[in-house]
């Protein structure tokens, strides 16, 4: 069902410092910050030859990332994103197998302009999973 790993997302307490570390220390290609108000985050994508790293920073007072950073002040891995061919079919199959889809269960448009869903971390070994339709 899942395809390639699209990205690993890391919540960070200082977006500029984290982006500079990937760019200046590791020599990675770092994209410009992008506000995603529907998700309550500002993101920066780090382009790698085989996948991406997504840096997440809170956007607004109700950002879910702020809660994560309150518990993890140094930041940390927030989720992994896998590509799927048909997000609705993937959702229905996963729900039939007992996985919980977060939110309303309906896809939202993600940072890449494609439909995304999130799966409850308790159903996946403590890891929040994002599915993105390709």
Give the pairing type, strands 41-47 and 29-30.
antiparallel
Ordered per-residue pLDDT tens for the chain, 134 residues: 899 999 999 999 999 999 999 999 999 999 999 999 989 999 999 999 999 999 999 998 889 999 999 999 999 999 999 999 999 999 999 999 999 999 999 999 999 999 999 999 999 999 999 999 99
Catalytic amino acids?
Answer: 130
The CA distance from 11 to 52, in Å, is: 14
pLDDT of residue 122: 97
pLDDT of residue 61: 85
pLDDT of residue 71: 95
Walk me through the domains of the chain, giving residue ranges and CATH numbers.
Answer: 5-133 (3.10.180.10)
Start-to-end CA distance of the chain, whole Å, equals 12
Residue tagged 């889809």 (tokens):
101
Q: List strand residue ranges (DSSP E) for 2-40, in order.
A: 5-11, 29-30, 34-36
pLDDT of residue 31: 98
pLDDT of residue 44: 98
Which residues are within 8 A (CB) of 37 and not within 5 positions of it... i.e. 6 or more apart?
59, 60
């Amino acid at each position: 069902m899942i395809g390639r790993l699209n990205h690993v997302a890391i919540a960070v307490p200082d977006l500029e410092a984290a982006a500079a570390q990937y760019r200046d220390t590791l020599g990675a290609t770092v994209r410009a910050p992008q506000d995603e108000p529907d998700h309550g985050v500002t993101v920066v994508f780090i382009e790698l030859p085989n996948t991406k790293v997504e840096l997440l920073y809170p956007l607004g007072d109700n950002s879910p990332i702020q809660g994560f950073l309150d518990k993890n002040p140094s930041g940390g891995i927030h989720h992994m994103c896998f590509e799927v061919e048909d997000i609705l079919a993937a959702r229905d199959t996963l729900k039939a197998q007992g996985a919980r889809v977060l939110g309303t269960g309906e896809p939202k448009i993600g940072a890449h302009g494609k439909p995304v869903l999130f799966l409850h971390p308790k159903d996946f070994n403590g890891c929040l999973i994002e599915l993105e339709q390709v």
